Every structure is written in structure tokens, then in C-alpha cells.
Amino acid sequence: MLTLLIAFGSFLGFIIAYHTYGRWLSKKIFQLDQNALVPSVALRDDVDFVPTKKEIIFGHHFTSIAGTGPIVGPAIAVFWGWLPALCWVIFGSIFVGAVHDFGSLIVSMRNRGQTVGEIAGRLISPRARILFLLVLFMSLTVVLAIFGLVIAIIFANYPETVLPVWITMPIAIAIGLWVYKKGGGLIVPSLIALFIMYFSIYLGAYHLPVDFANLFQMKLFGAFPNIVITWTFILLLYCAVASILPVWLLLQPRDYINSHQLLLAMGLLITGVFVSGITGQADLSGSAPMIADMKNIPADAPPIWPFLFITIACGACSGFHCLVSSGTSSKQIACETDAKYVGYGSMLTEGALAVIVILSCCAGVGMGKYDRTGTGASYSYVIHMDEATNQPLIGKAAWDTRYDSTKKWAKFSLTDKVGAFIEGGANFLSSIGIPLKLGIGIIAVLVASFAATTLDSATRLQRYVIQELGSTCKIKPLCNKYIATGLAVGLAGAVAMIPKNATFGPGSGGLILWPLFGATNQLLAGMAFMVISFYLWRRNKPTWFVVPPMIMMLIMPAWAMIHNLFNKENGWAYNLESNGHLFLIGLVILILQIWMVIEALIIWPKAKGILEKTLPPLESPAPVTPETVHSL
């Protein structure tokens, strides 16, 4: 019953927050205007700037910001107990993350769809612009490298996900052409696409798992199968193409399709939580600790302060979201009042997903531990039996097996982290009659789809950042979208192929960038809050609600980064042979952030009530009316 009460209370809190705090931000602080000229209309080019219905842009925004962050983060953080993770997700989503996303979106929309890095140059100082763009460039390089490997490993470990994920691409292109070129409706094609997606999940689970490792029967580079490297480059090549195509042709419809599939999967999970909670199958308090005893945490685990706020990023607050808000979504929103639904609403939806993940990784995992047997389409799952008692492994025993405190923190692999959610989520689905094998397919596709939408959105964002850097530094070739895309993908591929050590070859070390990603991502959130704060401060608007989260998101990740760099037990500075690249990138990012904070502190006292330099006027601004906007 506790599982059900927590789920119900969390979701109710998000709904209340949307209609109260979100409404206050929209009407009193940002004063959204239905008749305002938005970038998608003023700069419409039908490639990047495309006026879009809010339902479609919600799908793009939600699936892009979610990725695997709200899955991997909570799956790790429950080591410290489910209560701290739950509190940070709920209150972080409402008062930190949603404000960050919504504010970044509005500030970008009122600056012609520029990224927060570009806007920082006028709101703070010209140097701040270059500093911010450099941090964005380095952050996105790490994001692309990590997510390319993440999806490749999901494809390798869960071959049932390959067909459903890739089949959305041709369906998305067909829907894009149908809607934008033929003027067709969305409802029927969306329902057809949803049916095809779920049928493909069934096919992938029972008949057509695409397992290249078994097909080739080869392994290269030590413990890493060649398919991980192959999939990484296939994915980055796809992202290069997707980054250049018009957003209406692939990005928007693909994300729209995925949003329906993902929301349906979330709906099934919520139903499973409800049924398993009512029937007593899920026992949160009997499966996982509410607040962990420090003796039961791996000895090399980082301290809960500040690492809880770094480990759970997406799902509470994530700096990457400001890039989506100001990089793609601000260029597609057709009416300014849609920003609350897209910016604030999407973040609360992601918070709801993170709550489900926490419950899945605790109560869901406690419902039973399963072993996979067989290969190809004939594989199956059987309940794991305790060797000592010959009883099914459930409850605290099942959770302890998944979260083995005797295992080193650094040894928990991506499969461990994602597997906890997939296994626990499938257990919830089994309570409503969905076979375990199909349930694992549904949850694994949810994870892979989230990651895929983030990956190609991040590639487009990196292209924007490189072009802005090229324009700022007067490097003309970087302003070319094809060269910028090539550089983005090529550098990400190179970083992804970093070897772990001399024993392992290319691709084996890319995932050790994950600790760097966490701190860098949250530092980026703090810097985005700085831009939002200056925007309000220069307009004599209240900043009391944005300055505390800004300070928090500057201090916590900087604290974590310093710990990663200089901790005497396992700090990167004390093991440069293995962690030299982590140390160098982390140190540079930390210095850039400190430099930008100093720039902001110098300007802050002089900026109150003084508007920034305005952008040059458009040559021929497009007229906009409510009728033309809402007919799109």
C-alpha cells in the first residue's frame, strides 16, 4: 500500500504544482502573451524554425530532455535509500528543474531562439558568451559520446529493442510528409504508428531480436563485443543525417510517435504500480531501505552530499534541458502561451517518470529476481531461486542481489543500472497480466527510445553551438552546418572510443565519462539559472524564487567536481594514468565556470533595471495573429 500512496501523492503534487506555481510563473513573472511574435514565425525557414502545435512540440521536448537520465540516475541513487531520492525528485522537479526549463525556454523565445550561451553575451558580458559556449561544447561532446555508447550497449544486451526503435524512423518520415506536405491530420497516423510500434515490440521479443553478436559470433577488443563499437558509429552516422534534415521531416514526428509510446508505457507502469500496491505484491518498505545504513553502501561510494544532487539530474534538474529549451523547442513553439505546457509541464512529467523508476528499482525489484536463459528468439526468463533455501528470491533478498553492497561502486555497470529499472518495471507489468518477456521488451524499448531521441537532439544542439562559436570567433568554416555537424559527430565518436586502459581497446573506456557528465551537466544548470536571473534582474522582476536554486546548482556540482578531482582516495588527480582525460576536462570546465561566476558577480550590481543591448531589427518580420498561429 505504501507504494501506491507514494505514487498517488507524487502525481497529485505535480498536478497541483502545474496549476498553481506554474500558473504564477506564467502570468505574474514571465507574463506570457498569446499575441507575441515568436521565433518560429518571425524566422520561419521550415528547417530549424517551424511553427508547431503544442502537442507535437511537447512530444519532442519531453522525449529529448528525458533520455536515460531519469532512469540511470534514480537507479543509482536508491543506494542511499528511496526517501532521499524521492524527495529530491519531487521538490527538485517543481521548484528547481521546471523553473530552469521554463525560464530557459522563455528567455530564448524572447531572444529569437538563441541558445542560453549566446544570450549570456548580452545579458552578462561578451566574455561570458564565449565561456558559456565552450562549456556547452565540452558538455555536449561528453553527452554524445556517452549516449552513443549507452544505446549501443542497450542494443547489444537487449536485442529485442532494435526493431522497435529503428522502425520509428521510416514511420516518422512518412507522417512528416503526410502532415506538412499533404496537409493530413495527425490522429489516425499516430494511432497506426502506435500500433506498429507495439506490434514490433512483440516481434522483437518473440520472433525477431536483432542480435548481431550471435550473428557474427565474434568479439573484438577484449571484453567488448564488436557490435557495441559498430552500433555506436551507426548511431552517430544516423544523428549526423538527422541533425541536418528539417525538423518537421524526422525529429518532430519521430519524437511525437515516441512520446505516445513512452506515455503509454508509463501508463501501463502506473497501472501496474496501482494493482501491485493494492494486492500487496509490491512492498516498498519490505524490499529496499528508506534511508540506507552507511554500512550497507559500497565502501568506495561517494557521499550522499553533494552526490545525490549530481546522480539524479534528469528527473529533478538537468543542465542539458536548457539546451533543448533554447536550442530546438524555442524555435518551434507557435504561441508564447504554449511555453508553460511544453517547458514546465514536460519537466513535471519527467519527474513522474523518475518516481516510477524509484518505485521500480525498489518495490518492483523486490517482486522477484529473474534469470535469462536461451539465445535468439527462444530465450526466456525464469525466477531466480535462493540456493540456500531453494525459495524464490523476492523482497529484500531480491533487492540485495541487485544492489550488492559488497560490490564496489565503480563496478556497477550500465547493465546493472538500467537492468534494475527494466526488471522492476517488467514485474509491475506482470501484475496486470503482461507476460514477463513482453514486459521486459516494453520497458527496454522505453529506455532505448528515450536515449535515441536525446542523442539526435543533442547532435543538432551541438551543431548550433559550433556554428555560434564559429560566428563569435570569426571562423567561417564552422558556420557551415555540414562542417559543424561533421565536427560534432567526429569528435563524439573519438571520445566514445577512448580506451579504458592498455588491456582494453576502443570503446571500453567511454562510459567512465559518466561521473564527469553528472557534475558538468549540473554546473550547466547553474549557469543557465544565472542567465535567467540576469534576464529578470535587468527588468526589475522578482528573482527570489530563482536565485536560491541558482546558488544550489552552482555549489553542489562544483563541490562534486572538486571531490572527483582531488579526493585522496580515488580522485582523478591521484591516478592520471587512467583518469588523465577526466582530470583535464573536469578541471577546464570547473575553471570556466568559476570565471563565468566572477564575470556575473562583477556585472550584477550594475545591471538592475538596465536592459541589455537589443538585437538588430529583422528585415521583414512576419505578421502573427492568434488565428494563423492556432491553425498550424
Residue type, 581: H
Per-residue pLDDT tens over the stretch 526-585: 999 999 999 999 999 999 999 999 999 999 999 999 998 998 877 888 877 777 777 888
Return the bridge partners of 382, or none: 371
Asked whether 514 and 228 are in contact (CB, 8 A), the reply is no
Per-residue pLDDT tens over the stretch 455-475: 888 898 899 889 988 988 889
Through-space distance between the first and last CA atoms of the chain, rounded to whole angstroms: 46
Residue entry with cell 501508463: 267
The pLDDT of residue 562 is 93
In 3D space, the residue among 367, 321, 323 whose CA is nearest the CA of residue 70 turns out to be 321
E strand or H helix at 84: helix 82-92
Asked whether 553 and 561 are in contact (CB, 8 A), the reply is no
Q: Please tell me the pTM assigned to this model.
A: 0.90
Is the model more confident about 262 or about 605? 605
Task: Look up residue 246 and give its DSSP letter.
Answer: -
Per-residue pLDDT tens over the stretch 101-119: 999 999 999 999 998 988 9
Per-residue pLDDT tens over the stretch 354-384: 999 999 999 999 998 777 777 666 677 777 7
Confidence band of 226 (pLDDT split at 50, 70, 90): low
Q: In the predicted model, what is the mean pLDDT of the chain?
A: 85
* Burial track 496-514 (b if 16+ CB lie within 10 A, e otherwise): bbbbbeeeebbbbbbbbbb
> What is the share, in percent, of the chain residues with pLDDT greater than 90?
42
Write down the domain spans for the chain: 2-404+416-630
C-alpha cell read off for 577? 594514468
C-alpha cell read off for 579? 583518469
Query: What is the dotted CATH code of the domain comprising 2-404+416-630?
Result: 1.20.1740.10
Rounded CA-CA distance 448/453 in Å is: 9
The pLDDT of residue 213 is 56
Confidence band of 502 (pLDDT split at 50, 70, 90): low
The pLDDT of residue 401 is 82
